[in-house]
Amino acid sequence: MELTIGEHAGFCFGVRRAVDKAFDCADHHLSCVTLGPLIHNPQEVARLEAAGVRSVEALCDVKPGQTVIIRSHGVTPQVYAQCEKLGIPVIDATCPHVAHIHQLVETYSASGDAVIIVGEAEHPEVVGIAGWAHGPVFILPTREEAELAALPGKALVVAQTTIRRDRFESVLAVIRGRVPELTVRMTICAATSQRQQEAERLSRNADVMIVVGGRNSSNTQKLLETCRLRCGRSILVETPEDVPEGAIRGTDRVAITAGASTPQWLLDQVRDRVMQDVRRDGAKA
């Protein structure tokens, strides 16, 4: 078996920063909670809970004396205002790249101009970005929706940081033809682009492509989409136990990548499981 691990697999800068802040709270015995799961990886969230950092769904669930950690996805300005009103201390772990989009949106829309976000409406990052707009907001995940939307004559376009670039370009092409006065800011995270480009390259040359990450992780699902376009035997696994028995043969070229919310320890466990399975099958032969 030939095994390749993606150099850009796993935690991005923003996620690593948020996780480090959370574990630092635990190390200093601070009573901290995260507003929503810190990252979209159940196994790492479980590690945080074991260390004493659990998540809450709303600020009304925060107990007196607790500090709230804002996750890397960012939040709306109303969340900050509510924390201040309630006297809840905040540790802001918003990814700097996401915070930059907040500033772009807030500044551009100060006079009420429209903002278009290319991304998934339900994703917490997109929800947060939309909250910084002072005017109309249009959230367009596909070119079909861009064709149907009642778009304004003037707008700023930004992207969810983890969206696939080809999807962004596809939606943008429609918007360009429909919005006469358009300001475009390419806000896809560089690490996301690197990870997607690497996954595309690896999957072209692999017999089996393994994507490690949470099933509820948007960027992990987008990686899987990218890989499946080029490698029919692309599989998503959350844990080593998810690697299908007999899925990999000793002669296969195998490549492994991972979403931005996947910790290195989990990636290492999946790699070890793949190698163990191949050795076991070789011994049987």
Q: Which residues are tagged catalytic?
A: 125
Q: Which residues contact 233 (CB under 8 A, 6 or more apart)?
A: 206, 207, 208, 209, 247
CA atoms within 13 A on the CB side of 92: 12
**Taking Cα atoms as reference points, which of 185, 184, 215, 213 lies closest to residue 199?**
213
Nearest in space to 215 (alpha carbons), one of 207, 226, 223: 223
If we measure between CA atoms, which residue out of 129, 123, 192, 135 comes closest to residue 164? 192
DSSP 241: G
Measure the CA–CA gap between 115 and 158, rounded to whole angstroms: 8
What CA–CA distance (Å, rounded) separates 77 from 128? 8
Can you tell me which residue has the tokens 């507003």?
A: 35
Element holding 182 (H helix, E strand): strand 181-184
Consecutive H or E run containing 65: none
Phi, psi of 165 (to 5 degrees): -65, -40
First to last CA, the chain: 14
Output b/e per residue, 89-109; b: 16+ Cβ within 10 A.
eebebbbebbbebbebbbebb
